[in-house]
Chain A
Amino acid sequence: MSAVSAQAPPPALELREVTVRHEPEDPPAVATVSFAVAPGERVALVGLNGSGKTTLLAAAAGLVPHDGEIRVAGERLTRRSVAALRERIGFLFNVPEDQLLFPRVLDDVSFGLRRRGVPADEALRRAAETLEALGARHLADLPLHHLSHGQQQRVALAGALAIGPALLLLDEPSAGLDPPGRHALATLLRRLDAAMLVATHDLEFARNLCTRFLMLEQGRLVLDAADASDVQRRWEP
């Protein structure tokens, strides 16, 4: 084996001693958290309400200032590098309506592709394929305000997936989906090559999708386990 092939690829996402405060005088929302997500690895980030899951995801996408070090595919997230690194990230907000920026579903889903220079026809075709994969092809021509919360969730996810990101940061992706929808989503996400950090309360969904479970409590990482039952034991003593 040559020296080049023996070299392991850098983690898709790496956090070293990351602390986030909403205000300088506030207690940290995320406190000295360190972990890495390997390429292709699917990691669940679980925790109770207010435990810092959303803040941690926002920090990983460079949306909130942080102390410590965040690396995406080995490259440090800084003010200069953030725009380039975001090109590799697909993000799902926990309120999907917030990230839908166009009046028509297909325009919104294809936006990321067109921004990356994909020709319009090709972008629309790929956006339609992504919607199809999410079981939402029938929504393509609808105005966004006609969609239910669960449908908005799928459309927002389609927008994130359409660009083929190497790293997916998903905030409560199963929220608002019906049980078949949750199952189908987990199945779809399992098929992707992208690394994932999935913030969720839905332990069943996390168990279906992820192979590793991180648990946050009051902003601190208290568990890093390969088995969801460890999380369950902490929640249901």
Chain B
Amino acid sequence: MRAFLHDLWGCGRGPARRAAPPTRLVAGAAFFAACVVSPGATLAGSLCAAAAAVAWLRLCRPPARVVRAFLLLGLAVFLPYFLLLPLLPDAPHASLESWRRALVVPWTVLLRGLGGMLVAAGTVAALGAGDLREALVRLPVPGVVSAILLQIVHQTATLFYETRRIAAAMAVRGASSGGVAAWRVLCALPRVWLPRVVARAERVGAAMELRGYADVPPGPLRTVTAGRADFALLSAAAVVLAAAIALRALEAP
């Protein structure tokens, strides 16, 4: 678990890995869009979003612990929206239809949010360490945008480890031994963590400047040719996305 965040990249063992990196990225984006576009108000829309997420996970096949972690994170983030339901105007006496309409909102948030997170987890699992760069360089994405995206991915993980080191240092120094101590440390976090993050960002910025990172990113390293796997993956993604768009269009008044 030392490097959980970085090890997510390329941890999947599904058939999607047979396709070229840009295909995997585009297909992942299409499945993600399908989850976000699917209407949560109808059964068909809900099934479409769920099917998109499950199908993509099957194609990428990340380890069960990764799926479980993302599932729990998604539920923790999106389930609390249901707590807002009792705030419905005249909630105790509201009609069944009012409850149904009110339920649609948090349900749609949960469906799209959780589906999107699981698809993102699958995409990350389907792309290896160097694949994201390969995919971005090959796709018609402006050089500066891909450079920034890649550094966001790289540095987010680095900051995650920095945060874990600070947390470990706190634990070693007894911060977790008592509630008051933990609270004090938590309050001091902006003064401890933030300056470190800022200082680190400055140093990384200097290194990027010195190494000429902002220049046009280098070309892809490997020769990749589109094959049947690419065609199949893109077709599946297109079908799912088209279905989601159609359901959304049918739902529109």
Residues of A within 8 A of B (CB): 58, 61, 63, 83, 86, 89, 91, 93, 95, 97-99, 101-104, 107, 111-112, 114-115, 120, 124, 143, 145-146, 159
Contacts and interface: CB of A to CB of B under 8 A. Distances in A.
Contact of B211 (A58, A97, A101, A124): A101
B207 interface: yes
Given A115-B215, A120-B219, A104 B129 contact: yes
B3 A145 contact: yes
Interface centre among A83, A93, A99 (most CB of B within 10 A): A99
- How big is the B interface, by class? 20 to 34
A99 B207 contact: yes
Contacts of B207: 93, 98-99, 101
B96 to A, nearest CB: 53
Contacts of B9: 103, 143
Top 4 closest A-B pairs, CB basis?
A: A114-B218, A99-B207, A103-B129, A98-B203
A101 B208 contact: yes
A86 B214 CA distance: 14
Interface string B174-216: 0000000000000000000000000010011011111111010
A102 B207 CA distance: 12
B133 A145 contact: no
Interface stretch (B63-71, B73-81, B151-159, B239-247): B151-159
Contacts, number: 72
B15 interface: no
11 contacts: A63-B209, A86-B210, A89-B210, A101-B154, A102-B130, A102-B133, A104-B130, A111-B211, A111-B213, A112-B211, A145-B157
Contacts of A101: 151, 154, 204, 207-208, 211, 213
Nearest to A116: B212
B6 A103 contact: yes
Contacts of B221: 107, 120, 124
